[in-house]
Amino acid sequence: IMSEDSIKIGNGILPAISVLIPEVKYDKVLKNWTKLLETGTKSKLMSERGEMTILGANIKSITPNAINVYSVLSDRDSALYLAASFELKKDIFIDRSSGETELSKAKEVIFEFARQQYIDLASEELKVEENKLKDLEKELGSLERSQSGMEKSIRKNNRTIDNERDKSLDFNNQLTALTQTIADERIQFTTMDDGTLKDEKEKQLKNLEKQRKRLTKSIASCDKKISKAQGAIKKANSDIPRNERVQLKYNEEINAQQAVVQRYTNKLNTIKNYK
C-alpha cells in the first residue's frame, strides 16, 4: 500500500511518499534501506530519534544530481511503515507541485524497494517450505530403497535356500552311500586276519570316517545357512508391511507439503507481479 504522505523531520513537516511492507523484519529492511541510500556516495545515513537523514544521496533513477533524503521506518502491527521525503534542492521537495515526472520516479523507487523486501521475505519462506519438502522426499526415498533392499534380500535368500537344499540333498545321498560303504567295509574288517591287509583296511576305514564327518559338517553348514536365510526372509516379510505403512504416512505428508509449497509459490509470484 503506497500513498503520498508527509513526515515530521525535526520541527518541519515534509512531503513524502509512504508504503506499508507486510510481514518483513525491521532490522533487515533498515539494513537494505541504508544500503540503497548509501550506494554510490560517501555520505552516511544518520539516524536520530527514529528520523533518518542522508545528504547527497545518489539515486540515478530519480535524478542524476545528488539529493537529500529524509525518512522514517516504524512497526505498524503486521507491517513496516516506510516514508521518505526527497529534497532536490534546498527546500524543493518532490511532490505534485515539483512535477509528475519526479514524483512518479520517486514512487517507483519506493515501490520497487518495498516490493523487493516482500519478495525476499516470500523467497525465504518458500525456501524453508521447499527444504521441508526435500527432507520428506529424502526420507521417503530412503524408505523405498530400504524396501527394495529387503525385497532383493528375500529373492537372494530364497536362491540361497534352494541352492543349500540341493547341496544338502547331494551331501545326504553321499552320506547314505558312504555309511553303507563303511558298514560293508567294517564287516570285511572284522573277518580279516591280522596283518598288513587288515592294517590297510583299518586306515581305509579311518579315511572313510573322516569323509563321513566332513559330509556331516557340510550338511550341518547347509542347514545353518538355510535357517539363517529363512530367518532373514521372515524378518524382511515382517519389516516390509511396517515400512509400507511409514511410506504411506510420508506420502500423505509430502502431498500436504506440496500444497504448502504451491501456496508460497503463488504468494511469491503474486508479489513479483505487483505493479
Domain residues for the domain of 91 are 2-98
Mean pLDDT across the chain: 94
Residues 133 and 267 in one domain: yes
Task: Return the axis-axis angle of helices 100-191 and 26-38, rounded to nearest 10°.
Answer: 120
Q: Residue 62: inside a domain, yes or no?
A: yes
Of 54-68, 92-106, 147-161, which gets the smallest average pLDDT? 92-106
CA–CA dist 165, 212 (Å, integer): 18
Q: Residue 135: inside a domain, yes or no?
A: yes
Residues 79 and 142 in one domain: no
pLDDT higher than 90, residue 255:
yes
pTM of the predicted protein model? 0.78
For residue 99, the model assigns a pLDDT of 79
Amino acid letter at 58? N
Average pLDDT estimate for 158-185: 94
Residues 224 and 155 in one domain: yes
Collapsing DSSP states into helix, strand and coil, what is residue 20? Answer: strand
For residue 71, the model assigns a pLDDT of 96
Buried b or exposed e, range 105-129, using 16+ CB within 10 angstroms: bbbebbeebbbebbeebbeebbeeb
CATH number of the domain to which 55 belongs: 3.30.310
The x, y and z cell numbers of residue 221, run together, are 553348514
The x, y and z cell numbers of residue 7, run together, are 513526515
The x, y and z cell numbers of residue 8, run together, are 515530521
The x, y and z cell numbers of residue 115, run together, are 516490493
For residue 64, the model assigns a pLDDT of 93
Residue 27 pLDDT grade (very low, low, confident, very high; cuts 50, 70, 90): very high
The bridge status of strand 67-76 relative to strand 12-22 is: unpaired
Residue 96 pLDDT grade (very low, low, confident, very high; cuts 50, 70, 90): confident
pLDDT higher than 90, residue 17:
yes
Q: Residue 15: inside a domain, yes or no?
A: yes
For residue 121, the model assigns a pLDDT of 97
Residue with cell 520428506: 136
Residue 11 pLDDT grade (very low, low, confident, very high; cuts 50, 70, 90): confident
Q: How far is CA 124 from the centre of its chain?
A: 15
CA–CA dist 184, 32 (Å, integer): 101
CB atoms within 10 A of CB 67: 21
Counted domains in the chain: 2
Query: 214: buried, middle or exposed (CB in 10 Å: 19+, 13-18, 0-12)?
Result: middle
Q: Residue 234: inside a domain, yes or no?
A: yes
Average pLDDT estimate for 201-221: 92
Residue 158 pLDDT grade (very low, low, confident, very high; cuts 50, 70, 90): very high
